[in-house]
């Protein structure tokens, strides 16, 4: 049985919502694998790519291993909120992974306190 957000558009909408809130998620991939503890830092897409939402990518850190990860939306079957306590963006992540040329940011998680 497919999850409620199994369509690519539904997955993208759920990722954008969770990323904006800073909610940690579990991704069920179409190949049957799971990614648990995924703190999505941003959802990006090629400019003009909104006509093909499957090309969008979720980029972030898998917790607690602190492993950088990115997943294409077309490879995700469903998104489930694991933890609703908001996390903050790691500026080091954005330094390691600048926005590629001709891509745009659809969502970004909240920034951490400065200083």
Q: What is the rounded average pLDDT of the residues 53-72?
A: 93
The CATH class of 8-108 is mainly beta
Side-chain half-sphere CA neighbours of 100 within 13 A: 10
Distance CA 88, CA 91 (A): 9
Position 114 confidence tier, pLDDT thresholds 50, 70, 90: low
Domain ranges of the chain: 8-108
Q: What is the pLDDT of residues 14-47, one digit of tens each?
A: 999 999 999 999 999 999 999 999 999 999 999 9
Distance CA 78, CA 63 (A): 19
Length of the chain: 115
For residue 91, what pLDDT is reported? 83
């Amino acid at each position: 049985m497919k999850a409620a957000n199994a369509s690519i558009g539904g997955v993208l909408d759920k990722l954008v919502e969770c990323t904006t809130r800073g909610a940690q998620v579990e991704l069920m991939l179409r190949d049957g694998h799971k990614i648990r503890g995924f703190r999505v830092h941003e959802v990006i897409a090629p400019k003009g790519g909104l006509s093909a939402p499957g090309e969008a990518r979720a980029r972030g850190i898998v917790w607690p291993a602190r492993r950088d990860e990115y997943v294409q939306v077309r490879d995700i079957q469903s998104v489930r909120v694991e933890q609703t306590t908001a996390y903050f963006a790691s500026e080091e992540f954005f330094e390691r992974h600048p926005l590629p040329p001709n891509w745009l940011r659809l969502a970004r998680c909240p920034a951490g306190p400065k200083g």
